[in-house]
Amino acid sequence: MRKVLAAAAMAWFLPVGAWAETTAIVIGVDNYPFTTSLNGAVNDAKDIDNALKKAGISNITTFYDAEARKDAIRASWERAVANSVAGDTIIFTYAGHGAQMPELVEGSEPDGKDEFLVLPGFNVERLQETFSESIIDNELNSWFMEADAKGIQVLFILDSCHSGGMSRAVSGKTRLAPAVTAKIDNPSQESVAGAGISDDSFKRVTVLAASLESQPTPEVIIDGVPRGALSWSFARSLEGKADRNHDGVLTRVELEDYVFSTIKSQAEALQVPNFVPGVARSEKEVVVRLAGASTETTPVPVEEEGWKPQIALAVEGSGFRPERVVDGGAAPYRWDAASGTFFTPNGDVAGEKIGEDRLQQVVDKFILLEFLKAMAAQNPGTVTLTPAKDIYAAGDRMKFDAPRSSYKNLLVFNLANTGEAQLLDAQSGGEDTKPFSLPDLEVVKPFGADHLIVLATNEPIDALSALLNKPNVSASDLLKALPERFDGKDVQISIQPLYSREKL
């Protein structure tokens, strides 16, 4: 036993490039014959598959739609565990529906419910016959313990949800299937045994879920297509964007910092990711080795990453056409001329009573916001808005905080729902920047989508600060100045969406 433990300990501290291997199992299900189908889960799985290959991981098994059968997935897991040794890693990712059911083992769950992954063959109307086409959380506990006991590290990416409701009327589908109300007659032995395994039992298992247990996981529009924000963020992490020190390994802390920031901006603050365990086991805990990922330290111009200075816009009830818009797109922005309501591709109300005279500024705001999101994907910062909500009502008060930065210069500004740009703070010339705080923000008219932006850099900011200090500065003005000065430069971007309406 001592020799086994010693071998496992040595494997855990192997240097980068040593013999530790990574195996991946990637699942994405859009097509559900017996419940609402999804639009972005297969996009997620294919993106992760490609990113894994870029990271130098070639031992990958994928399951798309009908391929995702319980027996095939279980067999793939068994092979991965059998072929791995202490110090190796198994990455297991799932994008698709989740659901809840009454707990199989009484008293095993605080809320009395077990969660499960919904595979295509599961039919709640034929529960007892088809429940074998689901993977219950207890079964995953048993699977993961098989690997953990062998000294194998497991990283489970769960882009799904099991409960929760949304306050914002987004149009994307939610990855939540109807709950099961009846109890299963003959649960699997694994699901019963796994009920006795708690999160604290694992030494080498890390779970990253798309949202808190109380939240839904919506599909959102990223780069014009439906996606899960967690899967998108994890794929970018595998490409090396989360590897802050460019050492070819992704630590738990690096992954955590990256996904929290990018999910907030890409999902427009609709969800908060959830790590288990809640904190890293150590500051240098490695979750993925990125042998083939880019270690490039020079920022890439965002047009090379796919950004264009335009958005797809559907205009309803008017022949007016602003500049820098294109027709079509699977999920365009939308402007209703009669009401003046401006909608995001996710279906959110981004602005109210927007007339032709302000439409160009709002369009340019979202072109600029897409530019800032593309920059943030390369170097995201961290900001907080408390209390955290997906939408605020008139009169609500909150606090906005940006921490100290190692950069010398800092700009804080708001991109308002009207398309106006409002300077909040400018710091320059110091060794580093000081923390910034707005301790008493209040929601007032006009309502819609504001975006608080924190830009930290060593590049000069005086000219941009002077521009923002002028009266009536719009996003259109910033769109002319900001990309020219900062694209392809070392700039850290933090984005805090703030959605509001008069009443909830």
Q: In angstroms, rounded to a whole number, what is the distance separating the alpha carbons of residues 484 and 475?
A: 14
pLDDT for res 10: 33
For 151-170, give the DSSP string: T-EEEEEEE--SS---SS--
User: How confident is the model over 255-264, as pLDDT tens digits?
Assistant: 999 999 999 9
Contacts of 245 (CB under 8 A, 6+ apart): 254
pLDDT for res 166: 54
pLDDT for res 164: 54
With vertex at residue 469, the alpha carbon angle to CA 467 and CA 471, rounded to the nearest 5 degrees, is 95
How high is the mean pLDDT in each 10-residue block of the chain (504 residues)? 32 46 98 97 98 96 99 98 98 96 85 92 95 95 97 97 64 83 86 87 95 87 95 97 93 96 96 93 91 76 94 95 89 96 96 97 97 97 96 97 96 97 94 92 97 97 96 93 94 98 92
State the DSSP code for 324.
S
pLDDT for res 11: 35
CATH of domain 20-287: 3.40.50.1460
Beta bridge partners of 4: none
pLDDT for res 168: 66
Instruction: Specify the residue for token string 């521009």.
Output: 467
Radius of gyration of the chain (CA): 24
pLDDT for res 328: 73
State the DSSP code for 98.
E
Read off the tokens for 286. 């490695």
- DSSP E strands, 252-324: 274-276, 286-289, 311-316
Contact 212, 260 (CB under 8 A): no
pLDDT for res 256: 96
Q: In angstroms, rounded to a whole number, what is the distance separating the alpha carbons of residues 223 and 235?
A: 14
Q: In angstroms, rounded to a whole number, what is the distance separating the alpha carbons of residues 311 and 313?
A: 6
pLDDT for res 379: 96
Extents of the domains making up the chain: 20-287, 300-499
**pTM of the predicted model as reported, rounded to 2 decimal places:** 0.92
